[in-house]
């Protein structure tokens, strides 16, 4: 038989052990709860970042400041001799729809500074001039006077500030051009406000 003193000591030790186990369980639950809360917070932050990136992607897709076009003239066995705007029939790129493939004219949809480039391939041995024109005024010209039966591809580029509705085109002023392997091109893109 166990004495009252020993029973009391045994009950006291059991209660003490239960209290320690309860405290340990509560501490573990609190730690796990903190960890779970931290994981939840991190997950919410990641979801916010993903949502922000998704919206950023939409802004880039709908960026109305990305004006650019690239056009070329199809290969032809015939020399181009018609003086006037060159109508490039291969539209490789036309963001914001500024280039008109019926007229050969680019109409500026958004004002800003643009980088423009165009090429010339004169008919063999023929003096040729091809100009970049804005609103009817010549901005730049490629003069070609190949010797003998030769020809040479020439290219020019310009930085130009354009206003909304300014019209640009490349024009054959004199001579004749060859269109070999889509060598005749006209390109532009907006680089700043």
Chain position carrying tokens 């809360």: 37
Residue 61 has pLDDT above 50, yes or no: no
Closest CA to 106 of 81, 132, 84, 83: 132
Question: What pLDDT is attached to residue 76?
Answer: 78
Question: What pLDDT is attached to residue 193?
Answer: 86
What is the C-alpha to C-alpha distance for residues 132 and 150, in angstroms, rounded to an integer?
24
Lowest mean pLDDT among 74-78, 153-157, 164-168, 169-173: 74-78
Confidence of residue 13 (pLDDT cuts 50, 70, 90): confident
Mean pLDDT score of the chain: 82
Distance from the Cα of residue 4 to its chain's centroid: 87
Residue 186 has pLDDT above 90, yes or no: yes
What is the C-alpha to C-alpha distance for residues 161 and 121, in angstroms, rounded to an integer?
27
**Segment 125-145 mean pLDDT:** 93
Residue 92 has pLDDT above 90, yes or no: yes
| Model confidence pLDDT, tens digit, residues 18-54 | 667 566 656 666 766 766 677 667 667 766 777 777 7
Terminal Cα-to-Cα distance of the chain (whole angstroms): 99
Range picked from 26-30, 61-65, 87-91 for highest mean pLDDT: 87-91
Residue 178 has pLDDT above 70, yes or no: yes
């Amino acid at each position: 038989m166990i004495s009252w003193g020993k029973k009391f000591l045994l009950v006291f030790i059991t209660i003490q052990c239960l209290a320690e186990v309860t405290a340990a369980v509560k501490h573990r639950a609190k730690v796990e709860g903190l960890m779970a809360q931290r994981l939840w917070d991190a997950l919410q932050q990641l979801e916010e970042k993903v949502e922000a990136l998704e919206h950023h992607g939409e802004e880039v897709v709908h960026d109305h400041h990305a004006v650019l076009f690239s056009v070329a003239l199809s290969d032809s066995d015939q020399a181009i001799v018609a003086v006037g705007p060159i109508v490039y029939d291969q539209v490789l790129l036309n963001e914001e729809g500024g280039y008109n493939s019926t007229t050969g004219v680019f109409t500026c949809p958004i004002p800003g500074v643009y980088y423009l480039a165009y090429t010339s391939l004169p008919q063999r041995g023929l003096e040729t001039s091809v100009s970049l024109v804005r609103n009817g005024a010549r901005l730049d010209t490629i003069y070609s006077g190949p010797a003998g039966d030769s020809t040479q591809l020439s290219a020019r580029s310009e930085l130009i500030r354009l206003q909304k509705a300014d019209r640009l085109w490349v024009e054959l002023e004199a001579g004749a051009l060859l269109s070999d392997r889509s060598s005749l091109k006209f390109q532009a893109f907006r680089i700043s406000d």
